[in-house]
Structure 1
Amino acid sequence: MDRIWIFYAVLLAASAFALWRGGAPERLVGLALLLAAVSTQVLQDDMPIRFAGVELKVLLVDVALLGVMLAITLNADRFWPAWATALHILGIGAHLARAISPDVIRLTYAVLAAAWSYPIIVLLVIGTIRHASRIRSKGWDLDWSRQDPTVR
């Protein structure tokens, strides 16, 4: 259980950093990740039956997060959201693997569904650092690909 609280602490710190120093894509992803983590914690099954079958409520949270991340990826003037979205799709793949083959071991399903969250947080932090660096060096940084560069 300690690893879960460590994950939440790291996620909270990364999201706070993104809200403080990030552009709109970083802030939105940080908030979406926090909301998804809280939703997952509230909606997932009780411990004795957790990951015994497809965690449908968690899958729905993951699909909703995927929709948000896809929208950000398609509109952001950044490359890191594409990597984060791809990693999140791998996590959704764990749900599909469990649905296709119920023989998948519970622990394997749990690890595959959650393991991609850590590199996504790292990408959020890196994206925030790079955004802050561009602001320092150029004085501005576009958030969205369709944004007029003359409007800051």
Structure 2
Amino acid sequence: MDRVWLFYAIQVAASGYALLRGGAPERLTGLALLLAAVSTGLVQRNVPFLFAGLEAGVLIVDLILLAAMVAITLKADRFWPAWATALHALGTGAHLARAISPDVIRLVYAVLSAAWSYPIVLLLVIGTVRHSRRIRARGWDLDWSRQDPTLR
């Protein structure tokens, strides 16, 4: 359980950084990831063996987060959200694997659905750092595709 609290601390720090220093895509992604982390903690089944069966509540949270991340990826003038969305889609796919085959080993299901969270948070931090550098270098940075830079 300590690793869960460690992840929450990392997620809060990364999302806070994105909210303070990021552009709109970083802020929205940081907020979505933070809400998903909290929601996952609330909906996860309280049984002695997590991931013993399909975690339907976690699946719903993951699908909502995936939809938000796809929307951000399609509109953002950034490349990193595509990577983060792809990684989250892999984690969401673990639920599909468990639904199709209940014989999937519990530990494999747990790792496949959660392990992608750390690189996604890292991508958020990298995206925020790069956005901050572009702001310092040019004085502006497009947040969304097809946005006029003079409308800052």
Task: Give 4+ residue runs of structure 1 displaced > 6 Å after superposition.
Answer: none
Once the two structures are overlaid, the 10-residue window that deviates more, 99-108 or 28-37, is: 99-108
Question: Conserved in 1, the CA contact under 8 Å of 2:140 and 2:149?
Answer: no
Q: Number of residues paired by the alignment?
A: 152
Partner of 1:52: 52
Partner of 1:8: 8
Partner of 1:76: 76
Mapped partners of 2:140, 2:149: distance in 1: 9
Q: What is the CA deviation profile of residues 21-68 of structure 1, one whole-angstrom value per residue up to 9, with x for unaligned ones? A: 100000000000000001000001013142111111100000000010
Partner of 1:123: 123
What pairs with 1:122-141 in structure 2 (closer than 5 Å)? Answer: 122-141=122-141
Partner of 1:43: 43
Mind listing any 5+ residue stretches in structure 2 that lack a counterpart? none
Mind listing any 5+ residue stretches in structure 1 that lack a counterpart? none
Identical residues among aligned pairs (%): 74
Q: Does 1:105 align with 2:74?
A: no
Q: TM-score, normalised by structure 2?
A: 0.98
Partner of 2:63: 63
Q: What is the CA deviation profile of residues 110-138 of structure 1, one whole-angstrom value per residue up to 9, with x for unaligned ones? A: 11100000000000000000000000000
